[in-house]
């Protein structure tokens, strides 16, 4: 067959210097793409081939589970993002060649929109044996500060113009019985590097830094760099060590950015931090979702937030689960439920609201038409109250559903 | 279901945290306590070390050291124990951690199970739903298919039937059309032939016409070309004309602007002129008034001059007349020797121009007259006579005129008039100045009334007697309107007229008039009684209102009255000229003739006398010569002297005696 021979010839000759793929007829192009090997160097294929099928083959060969919906429905994007993530996960500072990443930048910079790195390896210890010895006694100390810094993302992130999401976890996955505290050490230097990098990244919309031992100082450092960020919409600092001062810093950030979603779950925010957040919330008009799960806000903080919600009209979802809240907060929130018409989702699970608190909430909810989710599991409000509240919320949700069906009436098929 | 696990984990975590916090607190407390106690002990030990330095006895020192060692061991033991406890706790924690990991893995397993279960359930449900949907869809589809097939078949059948119908109809139509076609063909053939012939003719005609038309066309073309050229030229001309017109238009525009400015200027000028003319007009009216005033002045001066001239002429005339009369007298007495009587003529005594215009008396005078008249009739009469004498004793007519003037007032009667005037003077005292009133107190009643009236008239602007008459008339009329007594007043008025006519004839006889007045006054006094004092003011007001209008009319009337009546002048002068009557003149003529004759004779005598005188002189001369001759020696010598033979008696003195005598006879000496 002449075409195949021709294509083989053309391709085998000089794929690098003679990119004639675009000039082929569609059926020939198809044939060539179908026969291309997935093992070709990325330097050749990255900017030359835009065919989704080829990249699909690459992905499926490499990974078992491929959910394209997480990657903007693009196989090529998925391939490059996951490829980059893999490289970053396995990057060991001072050992791995930094050019491994830097070489990839020109190839993938047009396709990477999201980076989801859930592990950063610390630099390898010089003396493996010593490390083994120390591991028994808990080697929290004894390492030079310089040696334990993680990979500096600054170079990479600033070179990716389309980056919109950044999910980072400074820690080691699957360490098993090799667990050591210093595997999970997010140093100040790391934080500085990251903050500077994030500041430079103007298109960033979602920033998640979870399980990374981010404490107050680091939070403040990050917040200082994120102030007045042009695009940032979602900030997730869950599972960290943020205390009241960090929460105050985040509260300042709320009114100096376009944040819509804020997740601070599983931190150590007490009532002072919660009050700072509440003050910010009272003036804010962009935030729609706030998550304070697993903190120690307690009644003082809960009441402050409730008072803020009396004036706020944008917040739709709030999670105050596991916060040691009790009856006073419930009383205030019954007022909030009676007045506020924007709140749609409230979560009070795992608090000690008590039976009376539950009744108060039920009363407040009586005239509310906006609330569609109200989680009171394990909140000690009593089964009956929970059931009644559930009924009201279900009715609201049904109404909402019908309303949404009526308003944009389904087009006749 | 699925999130329950998370919630439960959260709760557990929270509890764990709470416990942890508690334990931590306890541990911290414990450690603190331990630290305190150990430091206390350590201090104790260290203090003993200081004591040991002071020890000098070895046993004691050894004992002490032993003690110290024991205590240190104790301390260490405690510490170790604590460490052991903590390590135990740590191990426990480790175990707990392991347990927690296990628990978490269990949880995760559970979670997975539940999720799988849910997924399975969902899948089942979805599959079931899908099946249901498919079934329903199939059913619907089948129904739709059936329906559509039925519709299709029906439509096909209907279509077939219709097609058949159409086919039949078409066949029929085709036949019909064929017939029609044949007919048409035949018809058309005939028509075609006729048409062909006609068209051929037409073609010929048209060819002819074409040629004609060509010729016409050429002609027309030429014409049109010519016209075109003409039009071009015209166009050029038009452009020229247009440009000219434009220029003209511009010029006219400029002209228009100029004219406008001129117009504005002229308007301004005219306005100024108008102003100046108005000023002129005023000036001229002023001048006119001046002229009128001057004219009036001239009239007055003319009148004066006239009277002067008149007087001069009259004097001259009278001198002449006197001379004539004297001459007549001389002629009569001396020449004719007749007795001479001086003639008596009315005009001889006239001095100044004839008084035809009315001399207006002042209203006050009249009032005074009226007042005095009624109060003392005799006095008034004397006054009147004096007046008459003043105006001229001999002038009958003059006096008659004066009488006529008084008549209107007389009409009303003295008493009435007096009554009215007194009323006025009493009631309208407010018109009199206060100073005057004070000064009036000293005077008598009669004089006071007069003075009052004087001032009242001044206030009411009543100057002449006419005005006064009008005032009194007005009073009476006013009264007459109130009371209908006009009849009784009418009859005495008529009588008065009659009386006056008599008066004129009577001349200056005042007694008769006095008699006549008495009945009149009795009649006239009747209405006067009825005037009420309160009415006077009203009447005066009405009078003053109407008076102004009347006065205006009067003015013009007075002007006319100023013109003199010169009809009598001629007569007067004629009479002056003919002061010597006709017979006397004739006598004078005859006398002149006779005297002329006499004069001639006298002249002859005079010439003769002169001749005589001449002859006498010659004679005397001759006598002298003779005497000379005689007396001369020659004579003596002469043989015979002439003296001897001549009579020398004749002498000159004898002649002189004769001449005066004749003259005395001829020319009587003037007396």
The answer on pLDDT for B286 being more than 80 is yes
ipTM > 0.85, yes or no? no
Interface test with A, best of B11, B102, B141 (most A CBs within 10 A): B11
Average pLDDT of the residues of chain B: 76
Cα separation, A133 vs A101, in Å, equals 33
In chain A, residues with a C-beta closer than 8 Å to the C-beta of B7 are 321, 349-350, 377-378
Contact A350 B14 (CB under 8 A): yes
| pLDDT confidence tier of residue B506, bands split at 50, 70 and 90 | very low
pTM here is 0.52
The whole-number pLDDT of residue B238 equals: 92
Q: How far is A350 from chain B (nearest CA, A)?
A: 6
Mean pLDDT in residue range B409-421: 64
Spacing of C-alpha A125 from chain mean position: 30
Contact B14 A378 (CB under 8 A): no
Q: How far is A377 from chain B (nearest CA, A)?
A: 8
Contact A322 B4 (CB under 8 A): no
The whole-number pLDDT of residue B315 equals: 83
- For B87, name the nearest residue in chain A, comparing CA atoms only: A137
Interface test with B, best of A137, A298, A322 (most B CBs within 10 A): A322
Q: How far is A379 from chain B (nearest CA, A)?
A: 10
Helix (H) or strand (E) holding A373: strand A373-375
The whole-number pLDDT of residue A105 equals: 87
Contact A324 B14 (CB under 8 A): yes
Q: Note the pLDDT tens digit of each residue in B333-387.
A: 887 777 777 766 776 666 666 654 444 445 566 666 666 654 444 344 444 444 4
B-proximal residues of A, 291-350, CB under 8 Å: 293-294, 321-322, 324, 349-350
Cα separation, A101 vs A87, in Å, equals 7
| pLDDT confidence tier of residue B489, bands split at 50, 70 and 90 | very low
Burial class for A367, CB neighbours closer than 10 Å (0-12, 13-18, 19+): exposed
Contact A377 B14 (CB under 8 A): no
- For A177, name the nearest residue in chain B, comparing CA atoms only: B98
Mean pLDDT in residue range B244-271: 93
- For A349, name the nearest residue in chain B, comparing CA atoms only: B7
The answer on pLDDT for B206 being more than 60 is yes
Q: What percent of chain B has pLDDT over 90?
A: 32
The torsion angles phi and psi of A373, rounded to 5 degrees, stand at: -140, 130
In chain B, residues with a C-beta closer than 8 Å to the C-beta of A378 are 7-8, 11
Range with top average pLDDT, A208-222, B48-62, B143-157, B396-410: B143-157
The answer on pLDDT for B512 being more than 60 is no
In chain A, residues with a C-beta closer than 8 Å to the C-beta of B4 are 377
Cα separation, B577 vs B318, in Å, equals 9
DSSP A250-290: HHHHHTTS---EEE--SS---HHHHHHHHHHHHH-SS--EE
CA atoms within 13 A on the CB side of B605: 14
The answer on pLDDT for B61 being more than 90 is no
pLDDT < 70 positions in chain A = 1-19, 125-147, 407-413
Contact A350 B7 (CB under 8 A): yes
The whole-number pLDDT of residue A104 equals: 87
- What order of strands is seen across the sheet that includes strand A206-209? A114-117, A165-168, A206-209, A234-236, A261-263, A289-291, A317-319, A345-347, A373-375
């Amino acid at each position: 067959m002449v075409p195949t021979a021709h294509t083989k010839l053309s391709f085998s000759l000089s794929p690098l210097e003679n990119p004639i793929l675009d000039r082929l007829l569609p059926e020939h192009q198809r044939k060539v793409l179908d026969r291309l090997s997935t093992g070709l160097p990325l330097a050749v294929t990255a900017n030359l081939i835009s065919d989704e099928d080829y990249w699909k083959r690459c992905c499926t060969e490499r990974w078992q589970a491929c959910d394209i919906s997480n990657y903007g429905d693009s196989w090529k994007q998925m391939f490059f993002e996951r490829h980059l993530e893999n490289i970053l996960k396995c990057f060991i500072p001072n050992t791995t060649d930094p050019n491994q990443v830097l070489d990839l930048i020109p190839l993938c910079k047009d396709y990477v929109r999201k980076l989801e790195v859930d592990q950063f390896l610390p630099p390898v210890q010089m003396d493996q044996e010593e490390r083994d010895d120390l591991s028994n006694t808990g080697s929290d100390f004894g390492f030079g500060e310089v040696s334990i810094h993680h990979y500096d993302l600054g170079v990479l992130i600033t070179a990716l113009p389309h980056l919109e999401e950044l999910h980072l976890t400074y820690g080691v996955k699957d360490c098993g019985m090799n667990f050591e505290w210093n595997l999970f050490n997010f140093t100040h230097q790391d934080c500085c590097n990251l903050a500077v990098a994030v500041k430079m990244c103007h298109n960033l919309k979602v920033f998640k830094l979870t399980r990374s031992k981010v404490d107050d100082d680091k939070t403040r450092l990050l917040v200082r760099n994120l102030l007045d960020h042009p695009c940032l919409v979602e900030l997730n600092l869950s599972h960290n060590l943020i205390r009241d001062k960090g929460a105050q810093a985040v509260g300042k950030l709320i009114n100096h950015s376009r944040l819509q979603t804020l997740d601070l779950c599983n931190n150590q925010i007490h009532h002072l931090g919660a009050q700072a957040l509440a003050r910010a919330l009272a003036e804010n008009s962009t935030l729609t979702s706030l998550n304070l799960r697993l903190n120690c806000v307690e009644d003082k903080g809960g009441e402050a937030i409730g008072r803020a919600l009396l004036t706020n009209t944008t917040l739709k979802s709030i999670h105050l689960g596991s916060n040691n809240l009790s009856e006073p907060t419930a009383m205030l929130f019954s007022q909030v439920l009676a007045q506020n018409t924007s709140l749609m989702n409230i979560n009070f699970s795992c608090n000690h609201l008590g039976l009376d608190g539950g009744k108060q909430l039920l009363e407040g909810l009586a005239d509310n038409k906006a609330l569609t989710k109200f989680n009171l599991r394990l909140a000690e409000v009593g089964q009956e109250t929970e059931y009644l509240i559930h009924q009201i919320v279900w009715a609201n949700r049904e109404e909402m559903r019908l309303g949404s069906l009526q308003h944009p009436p389904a087009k006749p098929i | 279901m699925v999130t329950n696990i998370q919630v439960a984990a959260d709760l557990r975590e929270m509890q764990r945290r709470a416990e942890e916090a508690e334990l931590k607190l306890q541990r911290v407390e414990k450690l603190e306590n331990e630290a305190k106690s150990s430091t206390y002990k350590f201090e104790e030990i260290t203090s003993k070390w200081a004591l040991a330095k002071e020890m000098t006895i070895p046993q004691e020192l050894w004992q002490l050291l032993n003690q110290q060692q024991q205590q240190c061991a104790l301390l260490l033991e405690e510490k170790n124990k604590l460490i052991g406890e903590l390590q135990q706790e740590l191990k426990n924690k480790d175990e707990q951690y392991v347990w927690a990991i296990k628990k978490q893995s269990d949880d995760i397993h559970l979670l997975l199970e539940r999720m799988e279960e849910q997924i399975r359930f969902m899948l089942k449900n979805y599959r079931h739903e899908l099946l249901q949907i498919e079934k329903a869809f199939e059913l619907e589809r089948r129904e739709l298919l059936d329906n559509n097939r039925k519709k299709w078949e029906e439509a096909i059948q209907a279509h077939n039937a219709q097609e058949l119908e159409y086919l039949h109809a078409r066949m029929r139509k085709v036949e019909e059309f064929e017939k029609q076609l044949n007919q048409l063909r035949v018809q058309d053939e005939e028509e075609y032939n006729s048409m062909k012939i006609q068209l051929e003719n037409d073609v010929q005609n048209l060819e002819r016409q074409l040629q004609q038309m060509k010729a016409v066309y050429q002609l027309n073309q030429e014409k049109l070309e010519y016209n075109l050229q003409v039009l071009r030229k015209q166009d050029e001309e038009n452009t020229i004309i247009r440009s000219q017109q434009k220029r003209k238009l511009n010029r006219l525009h400029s002209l228009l602007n100029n004219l406008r400015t001129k117009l504005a200027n002229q308007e301004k000028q005219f306005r100024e002129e108008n102003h100046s003319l108005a000023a002129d007009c005023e000036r001229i009216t002023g001048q006119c008034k001046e002229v009128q005033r001057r004219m009036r002045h001239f009239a007055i001066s003319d009148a004066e001059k006239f009277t002067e001239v008149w007087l001069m002429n009259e004097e001259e005339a009278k001198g002449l007349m006197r001379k004539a009369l004297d001459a007549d007298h001389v002629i009569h007495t001396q020449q004719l020797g007749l007795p001479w009587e001086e003639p008596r003529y009315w005009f001889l005594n006239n001095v100044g121009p004839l008084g035809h215009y009315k001399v207006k008396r002042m209203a006050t005078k009249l009032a005074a007259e009226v007042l005095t008249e009624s109060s003392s009739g005799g006095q008034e009469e004397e006054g009147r006579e004096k007046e008459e004498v003043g105006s001229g004793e001999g002038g009958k007519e003059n006096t008659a005129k004066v009488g006529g003037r008084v008549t209107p007032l007389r009409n009303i009667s003295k008493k009435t008039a007096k009554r009215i005037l007194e009323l006025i003077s009493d009631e309208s005292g407010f018109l009199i100045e206060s100073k005057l009133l004070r000064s009036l107190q000293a005077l008598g009643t009669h004089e006071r009334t007069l003075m009052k009236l004087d001032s009242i008239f001044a206030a009411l602007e009543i100057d002449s007697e006419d005005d006064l008459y009008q005032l009194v008339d007005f009073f009476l009329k006013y009264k007459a309107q109130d009371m209908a007594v006009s009849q009784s007043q009418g009859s005495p008025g008529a009588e008065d007229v009659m009386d006056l006519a008599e008066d004129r004839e009577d001349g200056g006889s005042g007694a008769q008039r006095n008699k006549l007045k008495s009945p009149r006054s009795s009649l006239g006094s009747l209405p006067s009684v009825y005037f009420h004092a309160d009415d006077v003011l009203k009447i005066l007001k009405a009078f003053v209102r109407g008076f102004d209008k009347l006065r205006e009319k009067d003015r013009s009337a007075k002007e006319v009255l100023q013109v003199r009546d010169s009809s009598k002048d001629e007569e007067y002068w004629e009479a002056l000229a003919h002061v010597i009557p006709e017979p006397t003149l004739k006598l004078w003529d005859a006398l002149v003739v006779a005297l002329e004759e006499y004069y001639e004779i006298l002249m002859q005598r005079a010439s003769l006398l002169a001749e005589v005188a001449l002859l006498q002189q010659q004679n005397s001369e001759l006598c002298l010569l003779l005497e000379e001759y005689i007396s001369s020696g020659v004579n003596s010598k002469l043989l015979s002297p002439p003296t001897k033979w001549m009579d020398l008696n004749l002498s000159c003195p004898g002649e002189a005696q004769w001449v005066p005598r004749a003259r005395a006879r001829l020319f009587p000496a003037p007396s």
